[in-house]
Amino acid sequence: MPVAASDRERRRGVVYTFSAYLLWGVFPLYFLLLAPTGPWEIVAWRIILSFVFCALLLTVTRTWPKLLAIVRQPRLLGWTAAAGVLIYVNWQTYLIGTLTGNVVETSLGYFINPIVTVLLGVLVLRERIDVLQWVAIGIVVVAVIVSVVAYGDVPWIALILAFSFGFYGLVKKRIGTAVDAVSGLTLESFWLLPVAIVELIVVGMTSGLTIFGYGPWHAVLVLMAGVVTAVPLLLFASGARRVPLTIVGLLQFITPILQFLVGVAILHEPMPPARWIGFGLVWIALILLTVDSLRSVRRSRAAA
């Protein structure tokens, strides 16, 4: 590929990736607009409408043969099912956190996620890490302990988000390029359809479904959940393959920063001193991780 074309592709990749993280960062504002629809009903519609949107996309782009080729491979199907379970846990926890006044804690989960990714690389993939990365992991452990001592409670929302998305990334790494973004999201949503249907039945029998109970504008907002879910995932998949992993790693902090700002500046969630200390420790760990990543890139280029 000519240099100019390569530069254009890289710029496009940065725009796509940045856009994905930007959309994920402002997600809390969208989901709060869906009130009084609760987290269980929202996730159910999110699953169903994501599947419908992806099915339409496969039809328009005439890429159903790609998905059928994946269906013929039991190993890949198993990995997509695992990815579906993990992304369901992540979505459901995120919605519960967002709609119960814990947006700041959800941002903490995505701040911790890069550290969890490094830890999973060590424990699962047997990757070797240097001293600086171990120090970053230790600082995050201290941050969690500070939160437990300060609040008398474990930050479960943050930890579940960090580990569910960390394992989701691990599964995606196992799948590799064998499953394209649209086919992967289609299958993940497909496996979750029974869960979504059960959730809608339970919500309908208890508190009642709200999608069409609060006017046409509310119904449209809820029905957009599939597009809102799929678009950033597809942007991320298109961008990540065009730019170096180091750039993706730096851009990923956009999402938790925006979520943190939404929680503190717009929703005015409490930030007592102990919580600032916990966040400060996590940010220090992330700075160390970023510095180590940049040093590794320089060493690789020097060796090349």
Whether pLDDT at 293 is above 90: no
Whether pLDDT at 247 is above 80: no
Whether pLDDT at 125 is above 80: no
- Whether the bond between 232 and the residue before it is cis, its omega within 30 degrees of 0, is no
pLDDT of residue 273: 85
Whether pLDDT at 135 is above 70: yes
Determine, yes or no, domain membership for 169: yes
Name the residue range of residue 58's domain: 3-117+154-242+254-270
What's the length of the chain?
304
Determine, yes or no, domain membership for 53: yes
Tokens of 97: 């956190």
Q: How many domains does the chain have?
A: 1
Determine, yes or no, domain membership for 238: yes
Determine, yes or no, domain membership for 303: no
pLDDT of residue 77: 92
Determine, yes or no, domain membership for 75: yes
Whole-number percent of the chain with pLDDT over 90: 41
Q: How far apart are CA 195 and CA 292, in angstroms?
A: 41
Determine, yes or no, domain membership for 209: yes
Alpha helices in the chain (DSSP H): 3-25, 27-33, 39-61, 64-71, 74-99, 103-123, 131-151, 156-175, 181-205, 216-223, 225-240, 245-251, 254-261, 273-303
Q: How far apart are CA 141 and CA 290, in angstroms?
A: 18
Q: Are 90 and 164 in contact, with CB atoms under 8 Å apart?
A: yes
Determine, yes or no, domain membership for 147: no
Across 53-73, average pLDDT:
91
pLDDT, tens only, 198-208: 999 999 999 89
